[in-house]
Structures are given as structure tokens and as C-alpha cells.
Structure 1
């Protein structure tokens, strides 16, 4: 377990592409990236949803389209994927893996190496560490198919030769950020937790300019 106080000191102004920018966590990432002085481009399907995001460039298109992704990622230093999908108890979910496969191909073609992707507690080897309510009720009844696609998404990222970091937040909330969070890779003693979307955004943005968690998939929580 690592406990740290987030540091928003900026040594440079990276050029980043953000996917999933209009989601509730993505919006915090955009706002914080702009406030740090980053050169921010958003890829969105519905530009009207991003109309209030000042200080960012808007690219319009489907994140599953490799041609669109190549145009959006060209000239960027890093990509942040905050893509999400609603709970789907019955229908198969493929959005995350399909978009990630296209993104990896586009990044390789455009020689952009740095990828920071948000998945979630319950993905990969963090499965079974969400606490009783999450593991026994929410996950199997509502999120099983979503997390099957998150697992495919993670496998695609880990199988690439990109400079990736996968971030697995615990249960997300909309509370003010604490600034001090835990980053866990050993989950033996961990059973559930929560974290604010603001803190997730800060941690994710910090990974753009550090190799501290390169090729690792920490779970972050309060």
C-alpha cells in the first residue's frame, strides 16, 4: 500500500487526448487538465454535450473508429481513456474493448506511446475485493457483463507495447476530493472502499507526466 498526497505541480504542458470526456469522471479530468495548462483535445460523439467545456479543443467522432482516432491522437503526447458504459444486466457489452483495440492501433500508427486508462475495482485481479454488497449483489446482478468487457479492455492494453497505466478506482462518489489517497497493488487486506471522482481525475492526470505506475494497475481509494 502506498499513501501519498497528490501533487499538481506542472513541469510541462503535455498535449493530451481525452476519451469519455463528457462522463461524470471525464468532466473532472477535463476541468483539471485545462486548469493545469494542458493542451487538451476531447473526442466526443455529441459536441453539444461538451459545449460547456471551455479551454479544450473538440474532435467529433466515434471512439470505436480507428480512422477517427488516428486524426484525434495525431500530435498528442498522451491519451487518457475515461470511457464508461451503463450497467447491462442482460445484453453483452463490447464498447470498451472495441474502442480500446482501435485506440491501441491508432496510437501505434501515430507513434503516441503514453496511455492512462480507467477501468474499476473488480477488473482483473481486483475482482472479489469490493466488499459484500458490491461482490455479492451489485457485481453479479448489474455489472457482470460490463466487467467482462473491462477485463478484455485491460488485456488489450497489457498486451500492447504502449507505455500504459491502468487505474482502478473503488466505488466512485461526488464528494469533494481528499487530496490524500491510497494506491494499492496488494489487495489481500482490502475489502471495499470509495473515492471521489475529483481525486480520481487528479491521480489520472498525474500519471501523464510520471512513470511511477508505468505498466502497473493500481487500485485507488480513500
Structure 2
């Protein structure tokens, strides 16, 4: 039996790496959801595509119905989106959620890198923290993913940290974050009810190398 996976925010760069990986898996049935589907038309032959808005309850319920896993890679009012996703998943009895946020939402980034990160994006993290809180208080089988500063490097090396552990790594490739998310989708009992930092190993400077 195929695992039905819904990708919310399918236009995103990380999401597109995940989608490209999953389209090669015979045991995965993909549904892609985006406000503008023009950037995902290349997947028409291998996935069902839905144009819609996560904040529209009808659109969201129709997409989530009968899915096994929901993977959300969103931007904007992510706290409001998280609330709507939790409600729709509960309504449709779908339990497994993977939700991408950001490093720094728990002020878990240490040393000078933490100070730099807070200076750069501290005020932008509020909705991501609210989204994580909403998800963590739900009855879903969730994984909150907290990537470091993102690069477009063609590499898949990553290491992870759990909530409550210091976050050190200053960067990670989008392709590497996608590799981690793909692994969770293929192994859905991994990192259940966890908030997981994802970074490139052995890159522990005061800020990302590209700054």
C-alpha cells in the first residue's frame, strides 16, 4: 500500500528537493499544494497538484483528507497556518505532521553565533515560535524542523540536535534539509513529537560563511 504524502508550500526550494526525491519512490503517492502551481507543473506526471491557500479551510480540508503524512514548508503567517493545519488534520483524522520553522525559536543558538542570529532575525522568529508551540500542544505525531542558515550547495551532509540541546552549526544546504525530511517521510516513526535542529556538521563559526 502506498503512503499518501501532502506537501504544503510545494513551491519552496527545500520542498522541491523533497518532491524530486519522493517522485522516485514507488511506495509514495504525492499531492502538491501551492498558491501558485506554475513552479511545480514539472511534477504533473508524478503527483496530484492542487492550487489553494492554507488559510482557506475548504482548500486545506480537501487537500488533507485521506492523507497519511502532511509536510508543511511555509512562509508568512506560519502561526495562523499551523493553527489551521492542526484543526484540519484533527478533523480528517490525519496524525503525522512535518513542519519547517527556523533555528533560534527557543533562543537555543549558542555563543557569538546566537547573538548574531538574534540580531539578524530575532524579531522575525515570533510567528515561527508560535507555530511550534501550537503544534507541540496538539495531539499530532509531529516533527518540527529547525534548519540553520540555508545555502544552495549541492550537498546532503547534516547533523541534528533535539530541543533543549544547543544549536551550533551556522549553515546547512537546502538539499541536506530535504534529505532529512525525506528520511522522516520514509521512516515516519523517526523523531516523532520532536523539535529537531538541522545543520551542516563541523561548521561552527560566529556566523555563516556567506556573510
Question: Which band: TM-score by shorter chain?
Answer: 0.7 to 0.9
1:39 matched to 2:16? The reply is: no
Unmatched 5+ stretches in structure 1: 1-11, 86-94
Q: Sort the Cα spacing of 1:130 and 1:221 in 2 relative to 1 into closer, same or farther, 3 A.
A: farther
Distance in 2 of aligned mates of 1:139 and 1:117: 19
Match of 1:160 in 2: 138
Distance in 1 of aligned mates of 2:55 and 2:152: 28
Q: Sort the Cα spacing of 1:65 and 1:136 in 2 relative to 1 into closer, same or farther, 3 A.
A: closer
Q: Deviations over 1:100-155 (max 9, x none)?
A: 11111111111110001111111125355681674253124xxx1x3100011001
Q: TM-score, normalised by structure 1?
A: 0.81
Match of 1:199 in 2: 176
- Check the 8 A contact 2:99/2:144 in 1, yes or no: yes
Q: TM-score, normalised by structure 2?
A: 0.85
Q: Sort the Cα spacing of 1:127 and 1:149 in 2 relative to 1 into closer, same or farther, 3 A.
A: farther
**Cα root mean square deviation, aligned:** 2.0
- Check the 8 A contact 1:61/1:68 in 2, yes or no: yes
Distance in 2 of aligned mates of 1:191 and 1:119: 17
* Paired residues, number: 196
- The one of 151, 170, 176 equivalent to 1:173 is 151
- Check the 8 A contact 1:130/1:170 in 2, yes or no: no
**What is the correspondence of 1:66-145 to structure 2 with a 5 Å cutoff?**
66-85=57-76, 95-127=77-109, 131=113, 134-140=116-122, 144=123
**What is the correspondence of 1:15-34 to structure 2 with a 5 Å cutoff?**
15-34=4-23
Distance in 1 of aligned mates of 2:73 and 2:147: 11
Distance in 2 of aligned mates of 1:219 and 1:29: 17
